[in-house]
Structure 1
């Protein structure tokens, strides 16, 4: 049941580091657009050791939390319930507090990836490539499990990462093939490329972008565009940015926490773009 606009309700993003997070900008823009005058959204620097105590001290005015690293896995034992989506990758980025005090965990990154791609007209792909094998890569793999009908090639730097991605492929029941990072240029001809690496990691690949690239989803948003995304766009390929993902996953968080749907996607994206331009 949607909360009245004048209820005093709180939400926040937790993580370490968290000062860079755009979540307060996006959620506050949503509250303004929805007329939720009694709602506030903050950020708190919280690491794994401090998380249990932080949760225990929250009062009944709290509606929900957004979680960044390193808390997405650490929070799971502290919850009463975890959604099937979050359990599939052992990562919770959203906690919602129910009226009876239960803590429920969900993952909006996975449907957020799907929604961001769909917005750019990418409903399904016959194959895909993932660059990187960290936490975001597992969410990307779970998202591709919903829209990819064929093989997913994951380019990694170490055998340890390769083993992790093979295991995720088995758990998610998707066809995963591991390839060496040294051969990452080969990924750029895939119908859909998802880059999940830190800033600068794919810069050297920019010169290898083909003349007519298909679609690139680069999960970074600051700085933007990345060298890879800029070259991809210059060659006429479709580009989905990390801000697209951030906004779409935040839309789902707002809906879960407030009970209001649909959340104001356009207002949230505009607020995020303005905040990034001001940095």
Structure 2
């Protein structure tokens, strides 16, 4: 069919992902029966320029979802990015915009929307009687320092008033790159820069003065094998173990990974009494914004209720 459209799902080890089915369900629900999602499972987008360029600039292109580990590398293929990507430094969504006789590829980030909405829901579950004061919610922590961590920082700092963020990550250089990148991007846009602290040992996690109320996992669920990975796991467990020992409060932890749905980090957080949220929830909270960008503002205003019924 000449009017067939494709939404490309670009990532690594993605055969399990809910994205593979949910966007086809949305397309069918809103009457876009000629739109289909096509998964592109590739370990490194920069190793196959022909594949990526051909798909994104092909006549069937309607939009794309970008997942781990390509949220940084994919930016090189875009014609432009919006203000969010400029600030966050990571892209998980691409949509076409017609400029004259050409179609340009624009990158944005909707991960932060899913993160924000999930944490707000968990927040309501954690403190139904508003028992936690504002000072306690000014710190958070993130597991990982890749592309997804940047969206997590944006959600925490711009929408949840978190000013101090602890990072648990095996690679010191990766964390320093993250810190430098955030500082440069936030400074250039006159945005308040969060305090970012790398927790490198379990002892450091046990001895922090400002305990985080929000926690976000942004890494795949792989068992630790190297010394650095084992230390990072133990550091996280020290952080989680201390989380609900002060004042009887229940902090919240969201894992963006969804294979398996109950990741090792989620299981650990539950064991220590945290209120937890799954990665599939992050995906579903993003749906309406993604389809608004792909199908257009006016169309999605008419179809918004139908998509909401899927959530």
Normalized against structure 2, the TM-score is what? 0.72
CA RMSD of aligned residues (A): 3.0
Query: How do residues 18-33 of structure 1 correspond to structure 2 at under 5 angstroms?
Result: 18-33=14-29
Offset at 1:257?
0.9
Work out which of the two has the higher radius of gyration on C-alpha atoms and give 1 or 2.
Answer: 2
**In the aligned structure 2, how far is the partner of 1:228 from the partner of 1:74?**
26
Query: Counterpart of 1:198?
Result: 220
Query: Counterpart of 1:252?
Result: 289
Relative to structure 1, the CA distance from residue 164 to residue 22 in structure 2 (aligned partners, 3 Å threshold; closer, same or farther) is same
Relative to structure 1, the CA distance from residue 116 to residue 186 in structure 2 (aligned partners, 3 Å threshold; closer, same or farther) is farther
Query: Counterpart of 1:127?
Result: 139
- Secondary structure of the residue aligned to 1:75 is helix
1:208 and 2:251 matched: no
Relative to structure 1, the CA distance from residue 193 to residue 45 in structure 2 (aligned partners, 3 Å threshold; closer, same or farther) is closer
Offset at 1:108?
1.2
Query: How do residues 134-153 of structure 1 correspond to structure 2 at under 5 angstroms?
Result: 134-146=146-158, 147-153=160-166
- 1:28-65 C-alpha deviation (Å, 9 max, x unpaired): 12112222222211212343232455434543332111
Contact 1:152–1:176 (CA<8 Å) still a contact in 2? yes
1:48 and 2:46 matched: yes
**In the aligned structure 1, how far is the partner of 2:258 from the partner of 2:90?**
21
Offset at 1:245?
1.3
Query: Counterpart of 1:180?
Result: 200
- Secondary structure of the residue aligned to 2:64 is strand
- Secondary structure of the residue aligned to 2:106 is strand
- 1:222-265 C-alpha deviation (Å, 9 max, x unpaired): 22323442454466532121111122234422221122243725
Relative to structure 1, the CA distance from residue 98 to residue 154 in structure 2 (aligned partners, 3 Å threshold; closer, same or farther) is same
Offset at 1:158?
3.6
1:264 and 2:310 matched: no
* Counterpart pick for 2:8 among 5, 8, 12: 12
Relative to structure 1, the CA distance from residue 237 to residue 179 in structure 2 (aligned partners, 3 Å threshold; closer, same or farther) is closer
Contact 2:253–2:274 (CA<8 Å) still a contact in 1? yes
* Counterpart pick for 1:111 among 104, 110, 113: 113
**In the aligned structure 1, how far is the partner of 2:212 from the partner of 2:52?**
44
- Secondary structure of the residue aligned to 2:58 is coil
**In the aligned structure 2, how far is the partner of 1:31 from the partner of 1:118?**
28
Contact 1:79–1:103 (CA<8 Å) still a contact in 2? yes
- Secondary structure of the residue aligned to 2:63 is strand
* Counterpart pick for 2:266 among 214, 229, 233: 229
Relative to structure 1, the CA distance from residue 74 to residue 131 in structure 2 (aligned partners, 3 Å threshold; closer, same or farther) is closer
Relative to structure 1, the CA distance from residue 185 to residue 137 in structure 2 (aligned partners, 3 Å threshold; closer, same or farther) is farther
